[in-house]
């Protein structure tokens, strides 16, 4: 890892504004895709993306500022779950607007960044050879099927009706 941060940088307003700007860009792209793909009104889905961005911002900020070694993923999950709990006064508002943003619209934009980002690993990927590629595919398939089959068996045993 050549480009480790040298420790001279601080999480300052500068950093937070970078996050905010990035989230705004991401939100705008997602809202446009969401409109083309699903015809949801842009203003509603923009509010929805605003809510999601705000939760994300809170999560990444807490990860860095609070003295616990907890991943932002967990903070974000907990904030999201709590805001949407049926007993919370926020739930109606949050659910209405966030439901205007399709998960698939977010995923589509997210994976565009993933696609560009993973190009960087292309040369290393080519050097690895077909044996390792086979093992990788089998490992991914095993993880997926392992979880799916165990979940299915437990669901059937605990009597969850097929829908």
Q: What residues between 86 and 145 interact with another protein by CB under 8 A?
A: 86, 91, 94-95, 98, 101, 103-122, 124-125, 127-129, 131-145
Q: Is 60 in the site for another protein (CB under 8 A)?
A: yes
* Closest residue by Cα to residue 98 from 60, 46, 140, 57: 46
Q: Minimum CB separation from another protein for residue 77, in Å?
A: 4
Q: SS3 for 28? A: helix
Among positions 41, 43, 73, 93, the unique one binding another protein when judged by CB under 8 A:
73
Q: How far is the CB of 57 from another protein (least distance, A)?
A: 8
- When binding is defined by CB under 8 A, the residue of 41, 43, 74, 96 that contacts another protein is 74
Decide: 24 and 57 in contact? Cβ < 8 Å. no
Least gap, CB of 23 to another protein (angstroms): 7
Three-state SS string across 79-93, please? HHHHHHCCCCCCHHH
Report residue 60 CA to chain centroid gap. Answer: 12
**Could you say which residues in the range 4-33 bind another protein, by CB under 8 A?**
4-7, 9-11, 14-15, 18-19, 21-30, 32-33
Where do runs of H (alpha helix) occur along 39-163? 42-65, 72-84, 91-98, 103-118, 122-127, 130-157
């Amino acid at each position: 890892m050549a480009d480790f941060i040298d420790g001279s940088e601080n999480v300052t307003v500068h950093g937070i504004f970078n996050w905010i700007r990035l989230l705004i860009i991401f939100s705008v792209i997602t809202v446009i895709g969401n409109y083309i793909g699903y015809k949801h009104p842009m203003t509603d889905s923009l509010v929805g993306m605003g809510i999601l961005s705000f939760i994300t911002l809170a999560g990444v900020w807490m990860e860095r500022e609070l003295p616990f070694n907890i991943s932002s993923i967990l903070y974000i999950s907990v904030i999201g779950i709590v805001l949407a709990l049926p007993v919370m006064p926020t739930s109606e508002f949050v659910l209405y607007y966030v439901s205007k943003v399709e998960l698939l619209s977010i995923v589509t934009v997210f994976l565009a960044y993933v696609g560009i980002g993973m190009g960087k690993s292309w040369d290393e990927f080519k050097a690895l050879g077909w044996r390792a590629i086979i093992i990788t595919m089998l490992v991914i398939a095993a993880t997926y099927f392992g979880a799916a089959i165990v979940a299915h068996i437990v669901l059937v045993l605990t009597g969850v009706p097929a829908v």
